[in-house]
Every structure is written in structure tokens, then in C-alpha cells.
Amino acid sequence: MSDTITLKASVREAGKGLQTLRKSGFIPGSVHGHGIEPTNLSLESREFTRAFKAAGENTIIALTIDGAKPVNVLVKEAQMHPLTNRYTHADFFQVRMDEVIEATVPFEFVGDSAAVSELGGVLIKASDEVDVKALPADLPHTIQIDLSALKTFDDVIKIGDIVLPKGVTVDADVETVIALVEAPRTTAEIEALDEKVDADVTKVEKAGKPAEESAEEAAK
């Protein structure tokens, strides 16, 4: 497991204005888990952004609340403002290190495909993540997909081809395609795509009525 990612938080007082909290450089949050009471939190916005960038939703964060002993958590949801791209709320799940959990792990595509670089094909990434099960300490941050396996247009990389870290399993169909390379379009295909189909909409009839009559009724 990589270096521990840490984050500090404080218990948030009930009824405290969330807008005031955000304007002061903090965001509201909550933590819950098996056998613990849900707790409302206050987190420094910059520190949460740092920790979440490093951890994502599948790497353990050591969360310290009001100076108490750190607890191991995963980020279950991080809400972001659609205009400012700043986080507005964070939801954590406290895990037990001896209990298998489910998490979504992103793929990290590495290597070069000869079907792309030498044959001029187009790389198609059919999936960019996979759901896994593992003990919290065994959760990988990413799963590498080596694109060098795609040497021809007949080659594909499937879920069953993934070399999983020890202690990690997936439930997905082993035949699910992750990546492939499509052959480049021929000149004829490109020309066909450029052709425009001219349609005389005045000849289109709806329910047995001329298009002009239908348009007049629609306008009423």
C-alpha cells in the first residue's frame, strides 16, 4: 500500500449555515459506517481537494476528527459546483480493515498499440473502470491495461485478460471488452459519410394528410 493519505476534520455543529461555512474556505461533510453513528463534519476545502485528488474513491484516507485517533475511510461521494468546479460536500464511509468491500477502480492505460502506430487504426476504450472486491488494504488505486497487446485489428483486451493484484476479485463477465482498435476508414467510407441526403419535406405526409395541412393544424 502506498503512503498514507491523511485528512483532518471537525464535528460540524447542527444548524450552522452551510453557505457561511463554504465562504470561509470549508465544506460540509459526513461520515458513516458499520456500527457508528453518522457524524456531520467540517473540512478545509483545499485539504479535502488535495486528499481526494490523491485517493479518489477507492483508496483509504486516514481521517482525523477533532484530534481523535484516525479512522480509515473511503470517499463515497464528492459533490462539485457545476460552475466553479469546487467541491461543495463530501461523504465518507468508515471501513473495517478485516472486511471485504466493493469499490470502483479506474483503468490506467499504458503502452503503445502497434495497430494504432503502425497500421493507422483508431483506439477504442470501451470501458474505463471496473468494480472490484477486496480488503481495504488490498484495494488498488488503478488497474493497468497494457495497450501493447493490441497488435492487429483482431486483437481485443477483455476483463478476463486483466492481471489482478493479490486479494482482488471482479464480478464482471470475463468476455467484457475493455479496449480494441478499429481499422481506419476507407476513402469510399469517408466520402459516403460526407454525402448529404436532400429530402423534400413538403412531400412528407402525416396520418394520410398533406404536410402543409398537418403543419397548419400543429400551429393552431
41-99 pLDDT tens trace: 999 999 999 999 999 999 999 999 999 999 999 999 999 999 988 999 999 999 999 99
- pLDDT at position 15 is 65
pTM summary value: 0.75
Q: What gap in Å lies between CA 207 and CA 70, rounded to an integer?
A: 70
Best CA proximity match to 146, nearest among 167, 166, 123, 169: 123
CATH superfamily assigned to domain 5-94: Ribosomal Protein L25; Chain P (2.40.240.10)
In 80-174, which ranges are continuous DSSP H helix? 114-117
CA separation, residue 30 to residues 67, 68, 102, 205, 216 (Å): 16, 16, 20, 59, 57
C-alpha span between 55 and 72 (Å, rounded): 12
Cα–Cα distances in angstroms (integers) from residue 158 to residues 17, 104, 126, 207, in the given order = 49, 17, 10, 48
State residue 19's pLDDT score: 84
What is residue 74's predicted lDDT score, i.e. its pLDDT? 95
Is 95 or 14 the better-scoring residue by pLDDT?
Answer: 95
More confident residue, 206 or 72: 72
CATH 3.40.50.300 correct for 101-194: no
Q: Other C-beta atoms within 10 Å of 162: how many? A: 20
| Dist. CA 49–CA 55, nearest whole Å | 10
The whole-chain average pLDDT of the chain stands at 87
pLDDT at 210 over 60: no
User: Among 80-89, 118-127, 197-206, whose mean pLDDT is lowest?
Assistant: 197-206
Cα–Cα distance, 105 to 61 (Å, whole number): 15
Cell of 31: 461520515
Q: Stretch 24-39: mean pLDDT, rounded?
A: 89
Domain ranges of the chain: 5-94, 101-194
Q: Is the sign of the CA dihedral 5, 56, 123, 144 positive or negative?
A: positive
